[in-house]
Structure 1
């Protein structure tokens, strides 16, 4: 026998290992990993490379036991090398048993090669060769599979991606795979409350929903602040399939089966870590849970100061950075913030109006000063909610339907709150004269941007994409004048 040829044979086998695609854990989903399987003649060895965790290292015993239970050959006369790519990532997974087992069977020629060049496989193996779906299988994003399908165990409920299921290795070897049902998710929102609101409030809720502007509603108790905010969250437009899929993955991380964009309403006693996230592994908090949806902070001034201050980064950048010992994470946190607040401890105060407030002047000022200037400045809208009796101008459910119709008309346009200031200035109507208003010369860039973006939303609510003078006049009230009135009230000790 030619000794040089015998030395080359193992090398030739290792040049073209069997390649399979599977999944490992990420923050909110499962991400693809390439499983390379190479079997070389020689003294038996079984080695898994690519930074596997302890659970993955236990796969050898399960694989060989399942082979024996199925009557398949256990390759005891071969060196088996498993490589998990990319190699620089530490890997943890519940479903690498099946891809490694099938990879060995395909590599050793015990099963015919699949038609798919690099098949997707994800599943758990029992010692008796039964195949199970991992508990986190619904974290797989449908877009990762594209036109491919997944080999896995039988499921108890439909999933939103194509797959072939089988109950055991013996069934798979016999070609008994079943094409499973694919579930198509549809977004559906809960019905709005059957109430009536004023025309002014209806217009405001419409522009908030159309442009997704952050807003704070302040006023006495019983003025309907919380009711309006909760119904406003139901008026947001549905997302496209790709973005909604991302929100579903985040929802699964928090144990939610989402049918619509998230509406998160934490209690004002929530701690800083529960809101921001943190801990030894820098896990996400309520800010990330609200990503892509609405964060409702009822009784805003009752939240701890550190929680309020932590809103600066997500409101500005749409994400939050967490750094802990040996761990750095960036979590998504792009949400619409809707806040409500009373203006005094007893909840009855309203500026420039006769009211029943019994609080001392110093108590009112201390209460309102809980809201810091930088946090307040990041809200685009400030609205004073007054008690309105017997209002029957606009029926809210019908109004929300009208909002959805207007959103559909501008579905291909960027949200007003995301449009750059320079782009908005190009949409000014030729008869719009900003110099008529004394406020514009003294506005900060952030206030000016908020005013322009809100004016664009008012124009879209009218059905146009060109900003008129009347749009600016309305936008100034909510984005500038009400803020100035609030600051003046604080400076004068109310």
Structure 2
């Protein structure tokens, strides 16, 4: 006599979590255990973990021919998340437990230890979001369950052992439900602009960057403060909204990266080493995982020593910088990850780093300097809105032990937030996302403005993209000045930021 059971869970494909129906069929015949439905290695090994977990939890492993179907059959399945639902399906099909709760309203997740304990799994947060949208109850491991309560209205039942899950389903014991909305605790920033001495021009440029969502290249000698300035950029950017914070947590969950929940609403700051590969930056693998550009989503991607990155690695950034997403195509599946980041690059003015610092340290030839700068392609530079020279800090400022005149990040952030409000009230997005048509309509130019821009185009050989980026930056500067129109002073400052050192 054949026996059949059905349990629900979800797969992980990027930030999507399609529903998976696990059907377990036990029939007479030679003993066997097969899993069908495009299982990869970890899923195929599930039968050994499930077998040991059942035996060590004082259950009998069913005799007969066992077939486990993971539907839909054409969806690749990976990871250990299917252990718990397969084990429960086996116990239901063999009649060793009889659920008193309607399992049609439940989804089960968890990897099993050989003793029946439940272990945390990666990439579960998108599944929790999808489950809560379908008003399903969720049974999952207790480990790291706190991050799953970020999802509003999620009905989560954390368990530590297979036996606890069985008792709960049979109604013989209770499991406390976790229900908590995303908290609105005050966002704490570890870095502050008041810690930076001098560099007022650089601070102004970063304020413009934060206000309009622009990209920036910092050029300066070693020790001039490029990295210190870049690290403090998130402290003047607006905190993430609840939805964006949850999206960020989902990306980290899929990438199996630990996220400090106290810093959840602080915009991310990622600084990969220049030895990173293209896959490390944009993501990939046989089962696509997010890369650094997705981990920096809605935040800052800082590339220090920009010319030291292989040119082929830097070129993969061009399309995500324009589109804000990255499409990864593999033979088995196609995945899209969000990648709406601000690129902040830093480089020295020459190979030795000391060209133009007013000393005789630099002995680089013009040919060496040109080769060094040419490591960064023109198309990539064309996508960078602003280029800023960061001069060495004067010794007087360095010896000054009090920095009372420096503005704090909170003061600067208030101005940035006002500029954000102006932009979203006017157009519903940051200035950096304006299309050429929207730029032409929102920034009327008079005769003097056109003359200034014409001279800049001729002098700096600007492309159409670079021209529009100047107008976007000028629009942001005008918003910081609370000006409805872009005047020639705003254009002049924007052109100054475009000039290469």
State the partner residue of 2:400: none
Aligned partner of residue 217 in structure 1, secondary structure: strand
Q: Deviations over 1:276-321 (max 9, x none)?
A: 5566667654444434321212222233333333332332333456
Q: Deviations over 1:37-62 (max 9, x none)?
A: 36587668765432223543455566
Q: Which moved more, 1:412-421 or 1:146-155?
A: 146-155
Instruction: Determine the C-alpha separation between the residues in 2 that align with 1:362 and 1:21.
Output: 65
Structure 1 runs not aligned, ≥5 long: 1-8, 487-494
Instruction: Determine the C-alpha separation between the residues in 2 that align with 1:137 and 1:312.
Output: 27
| TM-aligned CA deviation for residue 445 of structure 1 | 1.6
Instruction: Check conservation: 1:35, 1:82, Cα contact below 8 A.
Output: no
| TM-aligned CA deviation for residue 330 of structure 1 | 5.6
State the partner residue of 2:43: 56
Instruction: Check conservation: 1:220, 1:343, Cα contact below 8 A.
Output: yes
Instruction: Determine the C-alpha separation between the residues in 1 that align with 2:114 and 2:200.
Output: 67
| TM-aligned CA deviation for residue 89 of structure 1 | 1.6
Aligned partner of residue 117 in structure 1, secondary structure: helix
Q: Which moved more, 1:425-434 or 1:92-101?
A: 425-434
Instruction: Check conservation: 2:324, 2:340, Cα contact below 8 A.
Output: yes
The alignment status of 1:459 with 2:465, answered yes or no, reads: no
State the partner residue of 2:306: 300
Aligned partner of residue 150 in structure 1, secondary structure: strand
Aligned partner of residue 121 in structure 2, secondary structure: coil
Q: Which moved more, 1:186-195 or 1:93-102?
A: 186-195
1:141–1:477 distance in 2 versus 1, CA, 3 Å:
farther
Q: Deviations over 1:193-222 (max 9, x none)?
A: 523445543332111011121111123344
Instruction: Determine the C-alpha separation between the residues in 1 that align with 2:191 and 2:455.
Output: 40
Instruction: Determine the C-alpha separation between the residues in 2 that align with 1:280 and 1:368.
Output: 35
1:114–1:46 distance in 2 versus 1, CA, 3 Å:
farther
The alignment status of 1:178 with 2:190, answered yes or no, reads: no
State the partner residue of 2:244: 243
The alignment status of 1:152 with 2:140, answered yes or no, reads: yes
Partner residue of 2:418 out of 406, 421, 426: 406
Aligned partner of residue 218 in structure 1, secondary structure: strand
Once the two structures are superposed, the pairs formed by residues 62-141 of structure 1 within 5 Å of their partners are: 82-103=68-89, 110-112=97-99, 114-115=101-102, 117-125=104-112, 130-136=116-122, 138-141=124-127
Instruction: Determine the C-alpha separation between the residues in 1 that align with 2:12 and 2:435.
Output: 37
The alignment status of 1:189 with 2:189, answered yes or no, reads: yes
1:458–1:178 distance in 2 versus 1, CA, 3 Å:
same
State the partner residue of 1:447: 466
Structure 2 runs not aligned, ≥5 long: 150-154, 398-402
| TM-aligned CA deviation for residue 451 of structure 1 | 1.2
TM-score by length of 2: 0.77
State the partner residue of 1:315: 321
| TM-aligned CA deviation for residue 65 of structure 1 | 6.7
Instruction: Check conservation: 1:52, 1:91, Cα contact below 8 A.
Output: yes
Aligned partner of residue 104 in structure 2, secondary structure: coil
Q: Deviations over 1:54-102 (max 9, x none)?
A: 543455566577667777787758x765432221122123132322343
User: Which structure is larger by alpha-carbon Rg, 1 or 2?
Assistant: 1
1:57–1:471 distance in 2 versus 1, CA, 3 Å:
same
Instruction: Check conservation: 2:120, 2:144, Cα contact below 8 A.
Output: no
Instruction: Determine the C-alpha separation between the residues in 2 that align with 1:382 and 1:408.
Output: 22
1:374–1:474 distance in 2 versus 1, CA, 3 Å:
same
Instruction: Check conservation: 1:196, 1:396, Cα contact below 8 A.
Output: no
Instruction: Determine the C-alpha separation between the residues in 2 that align with 1:137 and 1:385.
Output: 41
Q: Provide the alpha-carbon RMSD of the alignment.
A: 3.9
Instruction: Determine the C-alpha separation between the residues in 2 that align with 1:61 and 1:282.
Output: 26
Instruction: Check conservation: 1:37, 1:80, Cα contact below 8 A.
Output: no
Q: Deviations over 1:404-439 (max 9, x none)?
A: 542563584311111212113322368796324234
Aligned partner of residue 213 in structure 1, secondary structure: coil
Instruction: Determine the C-alpha separation between the residues in 1 that align with 2:26 and 2:280.
Output: 51
1:203–1:98 distance in 2 versus 1, CA, 3 Å:
same
State the partner residue of 1:420: 435
1:89–1:215 distance in 2 versus 1, CA, 3 Å:
same
Instruction: Check conservation: 1:292, 1:334, Cα contact below 8 A.
Output: yes
Instruction: Check conservation: 1:50, 1:83, Cα contact below 8 A.
Output: yes
Aligned partner of residue 343 in structure 2, secondary structure: strand
